[in-house]
């Protein structure tokens, strides 16, 4: 007969303890018993069929016992456990439990970094002397189709937060729904724009209905990761820089309530720059500021004091650099200036978050844009001239700030991890070719329409429209004249297969030369990125907007092809569809080549000298756009996306190809000498 011990039957021991608790509650108060019996039964069921998962809690081996206690708390109902106080304010200080706490944070966006490198980047953040990670949550990536959510792979938010905790970092979550972040439409899904009356970032019913559904799903994942539930999340931001937008007074209170109603119980924060600080305040929410200079710090602190009195001060975004736009220069902020400003912020008694600590990459088409006087799309790289480079390498800023933060905390930071390996591979010459006009036959059946349809309203993707990429419009014309229309953002115009020019924000008309009889008019329109900041986000529909006119007469009867350039899109092209590169090329076109990699695949940067404008895919991964107007001259290729041996490279080039693609171990972000 087996000898059962308490050691081998923890569920039975726990059950006996729970029975004692239940008996005590019944004797003390039947009403209390009724209120809590469901929680107890749930706990008993959970304990009988599972063991506690490893719960996140910042700290090293010295805090292992604390980890266990936090794991236990995640299973015990709140009425049974000691309430943990969490992050709160006391006069000018943040208090975490019973201790003064200064937030030394850094921003890393999980969606801009290959998942395999999350740990490396977070360890480098910890080794810089920081104690807190901040990250945005991109709604448009997590809900690509209405009601269809994706939190897998590189979008596994929970895994990212839990990894941060294991490394010893607290987390400030910035869930939006709008996040700016130099991401397409500020992180809002493009399918929201199917509604012609949509009013984003307001209490317009069509918007709040979508936010409510998204928050229902998102918060169910986030709530268990809060500090008071044993997780690392110590604070949550309410929207983002709303004071600069400020179109609906009821909106921020609505977002605050939406978070609280779904179980957010940690400290709530707002975040505003100088343009919106006074208008971004919400009752019961701590205001924080965004800035880059010491002069701004002094001015904004005065405003902050007048708004909310003596409260802890925090620079939620200290901009360590800046983003780049196509056709502009690479932005650089001197490391000495960064050190001086960060030192001043800390000396001022403020907490700080470095935006960005590590920027990463706008892989695919996720980059945003700015449109004030001129439309300017952001480049693929989100290097940001941050503390770590796009590929995660150390900078002079890192070295100086690590020394500073070590002095502030009085505890030497852990040693920095070694750099990830870089490699220069042999140049790759594409071997096969497929013109866009020949590729059309392998695509989905085109949409037919009397008039042009913008990208977001195309009847594709289960009725959710098209979010990113290109759209090809075709119709027939029978005369020459002046072609005009609104093209968003850049449209290459073709007569049959011959390019005759471009339409964009500045060029709204183009002359059609003399034609003879039946001619196919084609316009390949690229969505270069929806604006992520400003008052015109409601008007960010892409493709052909409204009618297309020839001699002021609206053209009719369009075929419309959705070229979203996804992995599934590229899989339509079988090897039999490609041909050897001919002497006379027709553009736009796809090019296929093989990149040979040795035993140890390593990071590299692809340099496309001689190529003009397009997109590069490696093993199905969209590395992003290239364009010879600069400033970005190379595309980052993570080694974790490479295989030993032969790697499949596809290039979509719009106008003119080079003879090869080179590899370098050094990124080039300075302005290019090639101007289109």
Quote the DSSP letter at residue 36: H
Interstrand relation of 498-503 and 490-495 (parallel, antiparallel or unpaired): antiparallel
Q: Active site includes 241? A: yes
CA distances to 141, 221, 364 from 421, in Å: 29, 35, 23
d(CA 559, CA 549) in angstroms, rounded, equals 16
373 burial (CB, 10 Å; 0-12 / 13-18 / 19+) is exposed
Beta bridge partners of 501: 493
Number of helices (H) and strands (E), helices first, in the chain? Answer: 13, 32
- In which element (H, E) is residue 186 found? none
What 3 state SS string does 520-541 have?
A: EEEEEEECCCCECCCCCHHHCC
Residue in 182, 317, 456, 654 annotated catalytic: 317
Interstrand relation of 553-554 and 543-550 (parallel, antiparallel or unpaired): antiparallel
- Tokens 């001619």 correspond to what residue? 519
Nearest-5° Cα angle at 285, 254 to 302: 130
d(CA 216, CA 597) in angstroms, rounded, equals 45
Task: Give strand ranges (E) for 140-294.
Answer: 170-174, 233-237, 267-272, 286-291
d(CA 598, CA 601) in angstroms, rounded, equals 6
Residue in 143, 182, 239, 241 annotated catalytic: 241
Sequence-separated (6 or more) residues with CB below 8 Å from residue 204: 197, 198
Burial readout 345-365 (b: 16 or more C-beta within 10 A, e: otherwise): bbeeebbbbbbbbbbbbbbbb
Q: Active site includes 278? A: no
Task: Name the token pair of 627.
Answer: 């364009």
Quote the DSSP letter at residue 547: E
d(CA 566, CA 196) in angstroms, rounded, equals 27
d(CA 642, CA 597) in angstroms, rounded, equals 8
137 — alpha (psi -120 to 50), left (phi > 0) or beta?
beta
Task: Name the token pair of 639.
Answer: 């080694």
CA dihedral for 603, 670, 531, 548, sign (positive or negative): negative
Task: Name the token pair of 62.
Answer: 């010295």
Task: Give strand ranges (E) for 132-203.
Answer: 132-136, 170-174
d(CA 376, CA 328) in angstroms, rounded, equals 9
Nearest to 93, CA basis, from 256, 319, 286, 276:
286
- Tokens 């959705």 correspond to what residue? 562
Nearest to 73, CA basis, from 266, 233, 267, 228:
228
Three-class SS of residue 533? coil
Kindly list the strands in the beta sheet with 87-90, ordered across the sheet, starting from the edge strand earlier in the chain. 87-90, 93-96, 99-101
- In which element (H, E) is residue 493 found? strand 490-495
Sequence-separated (6 or more) residues with CB below 8 Å from residue 614: 588, 625, 626, 651, 652, 653, 654
Q: Where in the sequence numbering do the catalytic residues fall?
A: 241, 317
């Amino acid at each position: 007969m087996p000898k059962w011990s308490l050691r081998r039957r923890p569920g039975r021991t726990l059950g006996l303890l729970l029975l004692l608790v239940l008996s005590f509650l019944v004797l003390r108060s039947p009403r209390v018993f009724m209120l809590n019996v469901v929680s107890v039964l749930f706990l008993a069921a959970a304990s009988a069929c599972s063991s506690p998962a490893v719960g996140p809690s910042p700290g090293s081996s010295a805090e292992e016992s604390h980890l266990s206690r936090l794991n236990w708390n995640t299973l015990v109902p709140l009425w049974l456990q000691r309430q943990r106080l969490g992050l709160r304010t006391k006069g000018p200080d943040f208090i975490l439990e019973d201790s003064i706490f200064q937030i030394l944070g850094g921003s890393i966006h999980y969606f801009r970094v290959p998942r395999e490198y999350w740990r490396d980047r977070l360890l480098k953040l910890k080794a810089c002397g920081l104690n807190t990670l901040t990250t945005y949550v991109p709604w448009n990536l997590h809900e690509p189709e209405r009601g269809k959510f994706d939190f897998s792979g590189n979008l596994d938010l929970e895994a990212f937060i839990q990894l941060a905790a294991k490394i010893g970092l607290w987390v400030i979550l910035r869930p939006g729904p709008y996040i700016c972040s130099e991401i397409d439409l500020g992180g809002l899904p493009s399918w929201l724009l199917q509604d012609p009356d949509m009013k984003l970032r307001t209490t317009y019913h069509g918007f709040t209905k979508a936010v409510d559904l998204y928050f229902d799903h998102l918060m169910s994942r986030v709530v268990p990761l809060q500090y008071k539930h044993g997780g690392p999340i110590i604070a949550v931001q309410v929207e983002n820089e709303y004071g600069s937008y400020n179109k609906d007074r009821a909106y921020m209170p609505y977002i605050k309530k939406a978070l609280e109603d779904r179980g957010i119980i940690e400290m709530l924060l707002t975040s505003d720059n100088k343009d919106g600080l006074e208008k971004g305040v919400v009752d019961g929410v701590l205001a924080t500021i965004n800035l880059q200079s010491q002069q701004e710090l002094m001015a904004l602190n005065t405003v902050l004091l007048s708004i909310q009195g003596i409260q802890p001060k925090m620079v939620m975004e200290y901009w360590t650099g800046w983003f780049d736009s196509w056709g502009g220069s690479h932005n650089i902020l001197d490391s000495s200036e960064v050190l001086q400003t960060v030192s001043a912020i800390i000396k001022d008694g403020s907490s700080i978050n470095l935006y960005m600590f590590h920027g990463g990459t706008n892989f695919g088409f996720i980059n945003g844009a700015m449109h004030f006087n001129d439309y300017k799309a952001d480049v693929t790289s989100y290097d940001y001239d941050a503390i770590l480079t796009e590929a995660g390498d150390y900078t002079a800023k890192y070295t100086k700030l690590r020394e500073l933060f070590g002095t502030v905390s009085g505890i030497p930071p852990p040693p920095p991890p070694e750099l990830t390996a870089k490699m220069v591979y042999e140049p790759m010459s594409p071997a096969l070719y497929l013109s866009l006009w020949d590729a059309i036959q392998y695509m989905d059946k085109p949409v037919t329409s009397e008039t042009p349809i913008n990208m977001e309203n195309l009847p594709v993707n289960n009725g959710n429209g098209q979010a990113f990429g290109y759209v090809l419009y075709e119709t027939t014309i029978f005369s020459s004249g002046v072609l005009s229309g609104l093209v968003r953002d850049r449209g290459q115009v073709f007569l049959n297969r011959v390019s005759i020019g471009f339409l964009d924000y500045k060029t709204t008309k183009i002359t059609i030369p003399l034609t003879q009889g039946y001619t196919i008019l084609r316009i390949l329109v690229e969505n270069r990125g929806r604006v992520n900041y400003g008052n015109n986000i409601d008007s960010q529909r892409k493709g052909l907007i409204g009618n297309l006119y020839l001699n002021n007469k609206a053209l009719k009867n369009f075929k419309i092809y959705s070229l979203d350039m996804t992995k599934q899109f590229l899989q339509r092209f079988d090897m039999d569809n490609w041909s050897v590169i001919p002497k006379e090329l027709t553009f736009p076109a796809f090019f296929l080549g093989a990149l040979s990699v040795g035993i140890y695949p390593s990071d590299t940067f692809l340099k496309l000298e001689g190529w003009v404008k397009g997109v590069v895919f490696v093993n199905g991964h969209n590395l992003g756009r290239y364009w010879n107007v600069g400033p970005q001259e190379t595309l980052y290729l993570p080694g974790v996306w490479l295989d030993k041996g032969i790697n499949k490279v596809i290039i979509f080039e719009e106008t003119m190809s080079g003879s090869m693609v080179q590899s370098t171990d050094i990124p080039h972000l300075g302005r290019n000498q090639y101007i289109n």
